[in-house]
Amino acid sequence: MVFGRSDRRIRPAAPPVALKVLVAGGFGVGKTTLVGSVSEIQPLRTEELLTEAGRPVDDTFGVEAKRTTTVAMDFGRITLREDLVLYLFGTPGQDRFWFLWDELAQGALGAVVLADTRRLADCFAAVDYFERRGIAFTLAVNCFDGAARHSEEAVRDALDLDPEVPVIMCDARDRESVKEVLVSVVEHALASGITRSPAAV
């Protein structure tokens, strides 16, 4: 005690831990929508209009109203807790942009693989990518209006997922639904012991 004051210094609060999470899946599955619905900042989007030249390779079955596509990445941020911030990186869905995935995956804690049951085969590539690289992921089924509903077990069997991979039904337009998916990714990654250094973003 000096001059009646405590010599204890107030320590500044520790900065929040920043973790990187990828959002992957097939073309038109809702990745841009998911990032935008939950981001607390104006999301960065790299969308371009679909063109006639791309029509032969961009299969719009089931998403005929889609007019744009991501050509690099989507980026957003969400604070899950006072001490935990997630940086979200949405990957492009078409095959011709997969060369970007390796760069985006650097330093990722885990991933969301977004699926559409009308085009379930479109997420095989993302599932295979994360399995091969040992990156923990949650399979989130985006429940589109008018699409048939399937049980988590049926989706798991169709994709031949390991038993420990979480499968969650979600609405990519709904913030609370997306938050549940992101919490699942973090919990699954930590439980799997597949942790990395906080991402440099």
Question: Per-residue pLDDT averaged across 49-70, rounded?
Answer: 48
Question: Per-residue pLDDT averaged across 59-79, rounded?
Answer: 64
Please report which confidence band the pLDDT of residue 195 belongs to, taking 50, 70 and 90 as the band edges.
very low
The conformation of residue 9, written as its DSSP 8-state character, comes to P
Radius of gyration from C-alpha coordinates of the chain: 19
d(CA 24, CA 92): 7
d(CA 201, CA 196): 14
Question: Per-residue pLDDT averaged across 159-172, rounded?
Answer: 96
Please report which confidence band the pLDDT of residue 196 belongs to, taking 50, 70 and 90 as the band edges.
very low
Statement: residue 201 has pLDDT above 70 = no
User: 183 CB contacts (<8 Å, ≥6 apart)?
Assistant: 80
Per-residue confidence (pLDDT) for residue 104, from 0 to 100: 86
Higher pLDDT, 73 or 75: 75
Q: Could you identify the residue written with the tokens 């699954």?
A: 188
Per-residue confidence (pLDDT) for residue 171, from 0 to 100: 97
> Cβ(190)–Cβ(136) under 8 Å?
no
Among 15-19, 53-57, 82-86, whose mean pLDDT is lowest?
53-57
Higher pLDDT, 68 or 32: 32
Per-residue confidence (pLDDT) for residue 173, from 0 to 100: 96
Helices 175-192, 31-38: axis angle to 10 degrees equals: 100
d(CA 153, CA 134): 23
Q: Percent of the chain, pLDDT > 90?
A: 57
Higher pLDDT, 3 or 26: 26
Statement: residue 176 has pLDDT above 90 = yes
d(CA 120, CA 97): 19
Q: Give me 102's structure tokens.
A: 């390796």
Domains of the chain (ranges plus CATH)? 17-192 (3.40.50.300)
Count of CB atoms within 10 A of residue 142's CB?
Answer: 23
Per-residue confidence (pLDDT) for residue 10, from 0 to 100: 64
Residue-wise pLDDT tens digits, 115-159 = 999 999 999 999 999 999 999 999 999 999 888 889 999 999 999
Per-residue confidence (pLDDT) for residue 85, from 0 to 100: 96
Chain mean pLDDT for the chain = 81
